């Protein structure tokens, strides 16, 4: 199951209370105040890791609480600090305050850490309040509470290129041909219900990552179909590969399909629609009318977009497309 958005509650540890104590020892008639400070509460820390690729483990474990600090003790002994809690999240997780929707952090590198809730400071013991004119202080502080907040975590895949297009445009088949990814492939709408990542090797042994984004439909930016659920996953990409089914099986006009997807990208994010794009006429092996391909090619050329013809079934055009993607991404 692919889970790319969850809400969790984090509670840092409270600080330990300061101690009220006076030193009592034989032959030491004026031992004085000896109450130690309380320990600091533990933090709750989000840690980016490549061990997870979804947020599923947090859906069923939404509460994360750090240990409180120990109370101070006599003889000016400071209480032990509370243990912090580390919460692993996938690389690419964006953190928001669930109550205010404030952006807090973007964890884009393995090992990157974010203190989601800071532990409370320990209270001061009465030894801290002693002065030459106030030698028997009774004052001591309780520990300060640790931070508590509700967070919304949103996962955005880290990929160099994103495959976009209508359902059944051939995205899943293409990524299965150019990488080791094996998404489900079938001839019905919304076969792909979760995004897939594939590593593609270029001819010089360098590689880049491609994301297969579940099919979009008209009105996706308003929540239609799979809605905006997966559009966020192509926000980080540097290149869009737009597959358009040119076969007659769709009953739609390829040029109109192209405009619909571009409009959806623009409505979701103008920056997304402005990314470099390759236009690919897919399923040319079953296209009966060459006019459908010609019209799409003229539309792409008129907008200054590179155009490719592809059949993932026969392999026609795959290597040419891979070289073009590598040239754009790897230089």
What is the DSSP secondary-structure string of 11-58?
EPPPPPPPP--B--BTTBTT--B-PPPPPPPPPEEEEEETT-SSSHHH
Instruction: Please list, in sequence order, all residues whose beta carbon lies within 8 angstroms of the beta carbon of residue 210, skipping any fewer than 6 positions away.
Output: 159, 160, 161, 162, 163, 175, 178, 179, 197, 198, 199, 200, 241, 325
d(CA 245, CA 166): 8
Considering 109, 138, 155, which residue would you say is the last residue of a domain? 155
Burial classification of residue 56, based on how many CB atoms lie within 10 Å of its CB (0-12 exposed, 13-18 middle, 19 or more buried): middle
Instruction: Please tell me the total count of domains within the chain.
Output: 2
Structure tokens given for 116: 């989601």
Question: Is residue 77 located within the same domain as residue 226?
Answer: no
Same domain, 165 and 150: no
Which residues have a Cβ under 8 Å from the Cβ of 139 and sit 6 or more positions away? 126, 129
What is the spatial distance between Cα 286 and Cα 176, in angstroms, rounded to a whole number? 19
Is 112 found in the same domain as 87? yes
**Over the stretch 254-307, which tens digit does the pLDDT of each residue have?**
999 999 889 888 888 888 889 999 999 999 988 888 899 999 999 999 999 999
Other Cβ atoms closer than 10 A to 134:
11
288 in the same domain as 172: yes
Give the pLDDT confidence score for residue 222 in this predicted structure.
52
Choose the final residue of a domain: 155, 180, 196: 155
Is residue 212 within a helix (H) or strand (E), and if so which, with residue range? strand 207-212
Give per-residue pLDDT as tens, 155-171. 888 889 999 888 888 88
Q: For the segment 216-256, what is each residue's pLDDT rounded down to a tens digit?
A: 656 544 554 455 566 777 888 899 999 999 988 878 899 99
CATH number at residue 189: 3.40.50.300
Q: How many CB atoms are located within 10 Å of the residue 195 CB?
A: 23
Listed in sequence order, the residues at least 6 apart from 60 whose beta carbon sits closer than 8 Å to its beta carbon are: none
Q: What is the mean pLDDT of residues 133-157?
A: 93
Among 223, 251, 235, 91, residue whose Cα is nearest residue 164: 235
Token pair 């009953």 is found at 251
Tokens found for residue 66 = 């750090």
Place of tokens 């792409």: 300
Let me know whether 182 and 324 are in one domain: yes
User: Which run of H or E residues covers position 324?
Assistant: helix 318-330
| CATH number assigned to the domain comprising residue 88 | 2.70.210.12
Q: Residue 186 above 50 pLDDT?
A: no
**pTM of the predicted model, to two decimals?**
0.76
Answer yes or no: do 116 and 180 share one domain: no
- Reported as a single tens digit per residue, the pLDDT across 27-67 is 777 788 999 999 999 999 999 998 888 898 999 899 999 99
| Residue 177 sits in the same domain as residue 319 | yes
pLDDT at 223: 52
Shared domain check, 283 and 146: no
188 and 316 belong to one structural domain = yes
Q: Are residues 173 and 322 in the same domain?
A: yes
Q: Are 68 and 137 in the same domain?
A: yes
Q: Which DSSP symbol is given to 109?
A: S
Q: State how far the Cα of 232 lies from the Cα of 175, in Å rounded to an integer.
A: 19
Structure tokens at 121: 């400071």
Q: Which range of residues forms the domain containing residue 238? A: 161-330
Of 107, 126, 155, at which residue does a domain stop? 155
Q: With contact defined as beta carbons under 8 Å apart, do 259 and 218 qualify?
A: no
Q: At what angle do helices 290-302 and 254-268 cross, to 10 degrees?
A: 40
247 and 261 inside one domain: yes
């Amino acid at each position: 199951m692919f889970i790319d958005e969850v809400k969790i509650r984090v509670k840092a540890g409270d600080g330990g209370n300061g101690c009220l104590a006076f030193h009592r020892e034989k032959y030491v008639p004026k031992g004085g105040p000896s109450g130690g400070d309380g320990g600091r509460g533990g933090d709750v820390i989000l840690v980016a890791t490549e061990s997870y690729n979804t947020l599923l483990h947090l859906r069923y474990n939404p509460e994360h609480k750090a240990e409180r600090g120990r109370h101070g003790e006599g003889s000016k002994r400071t209480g032990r600090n509370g243990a912090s809690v580390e919460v692993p999240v996938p690389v690419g997780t964006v953190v928001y305050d669930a109550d205010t929707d404030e952006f807090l952090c973007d964890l884009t590198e393995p090992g990157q850490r974010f203190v989601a809730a800071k532990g409370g400071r320990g209270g001061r013991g009465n030894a801290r309040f002693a002065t030459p004119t106030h030698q028997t202080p009774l004052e001591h502080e309780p520990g300060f509470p640790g931070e508590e907040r509700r967070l919304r975590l949103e996962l955005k895949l880290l990929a160099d290129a994103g495959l976009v297009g209508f359902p059944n445009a051939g995205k899943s088949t293409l990524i299965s041909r150019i990488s080791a990814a094996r998404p489900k492939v079938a001839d019905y709408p919304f076969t792909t219900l979760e995004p897939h990542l594939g590593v593609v090797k270029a001819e010089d042994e360098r590689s880049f990552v491609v994301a297969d984004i579940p099919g979009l439909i008209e009105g996706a930016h308003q929540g239609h179909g799979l809605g905006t659920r997966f559009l966020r996953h192509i926000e980080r990409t540097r290149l869009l590969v737009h597959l358009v089914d040119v076969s007659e099986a769709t009953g739609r006009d390829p040029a109109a399909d192209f405009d619909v997807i571009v409009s959806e990208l623009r409505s979701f994010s103008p920056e997304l629609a402005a990314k470099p794009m390759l236009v690919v006429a897919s399923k040319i092996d079953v296209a009966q009318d060459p006019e459908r391909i010609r019209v799409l090619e003229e539309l792409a050329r008129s907008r200054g977009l590179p155009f490719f013809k592809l059949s993932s079934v026969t392999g026609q055009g795959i290597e040419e497309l891979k070289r073009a993607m590598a040239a754009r991404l790897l230089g």
